[in-house]
Amino acid sequence: MKKIVFFLGKGGVGKTTSSAALSFYLSSENKSVYWISIDPAHNLSDIVHLDLHKKTQVNDFLFAEEVDVESYLKSFLHKTTVRMKEMYKYLQIVNLENMFDLLKHSPGMEEYALMYAMKEKIEENENFEYIVIDTPPTGLMLKILSLPFSSKMWIEKLVRWRKKIINHRAAIANINPKKIDKSLALEEENDKVLKELGYQSDYIIFLVNLLSDKSKCKMAVVLNEDEMSLSESLRIINGLRGLKLTLDFAILNKEGTGQKNSEQELNLPIIRIPYLRNAMDIKTLTNLGQRLEKIVK
């Protein structure tokens, strides 16, 4: 994989159009492209007129897919619940079954499911030269991008706390073995919780490293000529700054249809896309994509 490109921005500014334009242009240059939407409100299929619920070939070099968020959430919850029930089966006496069933109603589960979907889809398609990602609107996407970094911090703390628990447990067992249930691990390498944390850490570190690698990961914000669009773009810039991530380009879409923004506030290279009155076909999108090529250079 040479590059992965995220198109960010508020809803309706042209993220899907921009991601389509770059994807079609790169594929027209015989570059292999995996074009994916992780936005629950998908629009990719409207452009190519194909069912994209699974990875589908659009042309010789372009494959596209729309992540089925609902199915992925169910799969994510099922896998998580099975692993946790196995890990904590010694606590079934406290009706743990019902506690885990409440996971589906917990805040943030959709964001976690989308984060894992994004990770798995990127990893599964690393053989493509380019991965182009159409993203959800600002609020949801900032949460998804922040999760790997916050999760990494919490996992590191949980690992330290868990190791202390195991050490204390082993010390108690040395003094009075009857005080410790035989099913509980006394060594770190045998502890199921530590193994699960290691599993989660592998997922998280993959994303943290990828998002932080500016040689591979590129991010562009798409906006229009209106104050709300500019405000959302500045929110993205500030949100990413808190994660020590930066945007690479701003794409001013539908230029000439609104009041001029204070573009200097963005402090980014700007790619300008004029407003086109006619519906855009594949040829038009491909031509527009040539303007966006600089994002991946």
Which residues are the active-site residues? 39
**Distance between CA 76 and CA 115 in Å, rounded?**
10
Is 134 strand, coil or helix? strand
Is 50 strand, coil or helix? coil
Locate the DSSP E strands across the chain: 3-8, 33-37, 56-57, 62-66, 130-134, 217-223, 249-255, 270-274
Q: Per the structure block, which two tokens stand in for 193?
A: 């919780």
**Distance between CA 170 and CA 164 in Å, rounded?**
10
Phi, psi torsion values for 160, nearest 5 degrees: -65, -45
* Contact status, residue 233 vs residue 265, Cβ threshold 8 Å: no
Phi, psi torsion values for 257, nearest 5 degrees: -110, 0
- Helices 109-124 and 138-175: crossing angle in degrees, nearest 10, is 90
- For 266, other C-beta atoms within 10 Å of its C-beta total 20
Give residue 294's region: left, alpha or beta (phi > 0; psi -120 to 50).
Answer: alpha
Report how far apart the first and last C-alpha atoms of the chain are (Å, whole number): 14
**Distance between CA 114 and CA 112 in Å, rounded?**
5
